[in-house]
C-alpha cells in the first residue's frame, strides 16, 4: 500500500494536477477568445498594477478595512503553498528518489506553518457556519473543499509528531495530498490557477479601458 501511494499514485496525481491545470487554463483562454472584449482589453501594465495591489497585504482599501480577515487569509495561503514545497521531509524524499533538492524550512517553523493552515481552515469553517452571507452561499462542496485542504495538513501534523498509528497516518497523509492535487484543477480550488487571470482582466478593464483603478 505504502509503495503504491508513494510511488505510482504520486506520479498520477502530479500528471493530473499539471495536465488538468493546463487544460483548464487553455479552456478558459480559448473560451475568452470567443468574447469581443477580453483580449483587446488586456494590458500588462494594468494587470501587474492590479496584482501588486492584491497580493501585497493591506495594499488596497478593502484589506485595510478588514484587518483580521486579511491577516488570516494571507497567513493561511502563504503557509498553504510554501509548507509542502519547503518541508524538510518532502525535500528529502525528492532528494532520495530524484537526486534533486532545495532549501527547506526549519522543522519547528514548518510545524507552526502547518498549525496556521489548520487554524485558517477552522476560521473559514467558522465563517461558513456563522456569517449569514457566507452561510447562504455555502453548500456541501464548500465543506468538501475545506476538508480536502485541511486533511493533508492535519495528517501531516499527526505523522510528524508520530502521535499514533504512524504508518497508517502516513499513507492517509500521502493520499490526502494526492487528492488535493487532483482536486485543484477540477474544483473551485482552481481559484489558485485563475486568480492571476481574473485579477489581470479586471485590473486591465478598470485601468486600461476605464482609466480608473481596482483597489
Partner 1 sequence: MKPTIVKREPVVDDALDHCATKLTPEQIEKVVNEVIDKETGGRLWTYVNTCIHCGLCAEACQWYLSNDRDVSYAPVTKVKDTIWVMLEKKGKVDAAFIKRCSEIAHTECNVCRRCGMYCPFGIDIAYMMMVVRRICAKLEMVPLYLQDTVHSHAATMNQMWVKPDEWIDTLQWQEEEGQGYVPSARLPLEKEGAEVMYSVIGPEPKFLAQLLGNITAIMKVANIDWTMPATAGWDNSNMAMYSGDFEVMARVERLHYETAQRLKVKKIVMGECGHAFRGAEYDGPTWMGWMRPPIPLIHAISFYYDLIISGRIKIAKKAEGPITVQDPCNVIRNAGLGKKLRYIMNAVCENFVDVTPNDRHNYCCNAGGGVINVGPPWKKKRVQGNRIKAEQFKRTGAHTIVTPCHNCHSGIEDIVNTYKLGMHVKFFSEILIEAMEIPEDLQP
Shortest distance, CB of residue 175 to partner 1, whole angstroms? 24
Report how far residue 210's alpha carbon sits from residue 157's, in angstroms, rounded to the nearest whole number. Answer: 48
Shortest distance, CB of residue 189 to partner 1, whole angstroms? 9
| Residue 204, C-beta contacts closer than 8 angstroms, at least 6 positions apart | 41, 42, 43, 46, 47, 50
Site string for partner 1, 123-162 (x = CB under 8 A): ----x---xxxx-xxxx--x--------------------
Indicate the Cα dihedral angle 23, 28, 32, 33, nearest 10°: 0
Say how many CA atoms lie within 13 Å of 164 toward its Cβ: 1
Q: Is 74 a residue that touches partner 1 (CB under 8 A)?
A: no
Q: Is 65 a residue that touches partner 1 (CB under 8 A)?
A: yes
Q: Is 194 a residue that touches partner 1 (CB under 8 A)?
A: yes
Q: Is 38 a residue that touches partner 1 (CB under 8 A)?
A: yes
**Cell numbers given for 118:** 489548520
Q: Is 62 a residue that touches partner 1 (CB under 8 A)?
A: yes
Q: Is 215 a residue that touches partner 1 (CB under 8 A)?
A: yes
Amino acid at each position: 500500500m505504502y509503495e503504491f501511494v508513494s510511488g505510482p499514485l504520486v506520479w498520477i496525481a502530479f500528471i493530473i494536477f499539471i495536465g488538468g491545470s493546463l487544460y483548464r487554463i487553455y479552456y478558459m483562454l480559448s473560451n475568452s477568445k470567443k468574447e469581443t472584449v477580453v483580449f483587446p482589453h488586456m494590458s500588462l501594465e494594468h494587470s501587474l498594477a492590479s496584482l501588486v495591489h492584491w497580493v501585497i497585504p493591506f495594499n488596497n482599501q478593502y484589506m485595510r478595512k478588514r484587518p483580521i480577515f486579511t491577516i488570516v487569509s494571507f497567513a493561511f495561503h502563504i503557509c498553504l503553498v510554501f509548507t509542502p514545497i519547503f518541508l524538510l521531509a518532502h525535500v528529502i524524499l525528492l532528494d532520495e528518489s530524484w537526486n534533486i533538492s532545495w532549501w527547506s524550512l526549519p522543522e519547528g517553523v514548518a510545524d507552526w506553518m502547518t498549525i496556521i493552515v489548520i487554524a485558517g481552515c477552522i476560521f473559514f469553517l467558522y465563517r461558513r457556519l456563522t456569517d449569514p452571507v457566507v452561510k447562504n452561499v455555502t453548500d456541501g462542496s464548500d465543506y468538501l473543499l475545506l476538508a480536502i485542504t485541511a486533511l493533508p495538513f492535519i495528517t501531516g501534523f499527526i505523522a510528524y509528531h508520530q502521535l499514533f498509528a504512524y504508518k497508517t497516518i502516513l499513507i492517509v497523509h500521502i493520499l490526502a495530498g494526492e487528492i488535493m492535487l487532483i482536486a485543484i484543477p477540477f474544483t473551485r480550488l482552481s481559484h489558485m490557477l485563475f486568480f492571476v487571470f481574473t485579477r489581470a482582466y479586471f485590473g486591465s478593464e478598470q485601468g486600461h479601458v476605464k482609466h480608473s483603478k481596482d483597489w
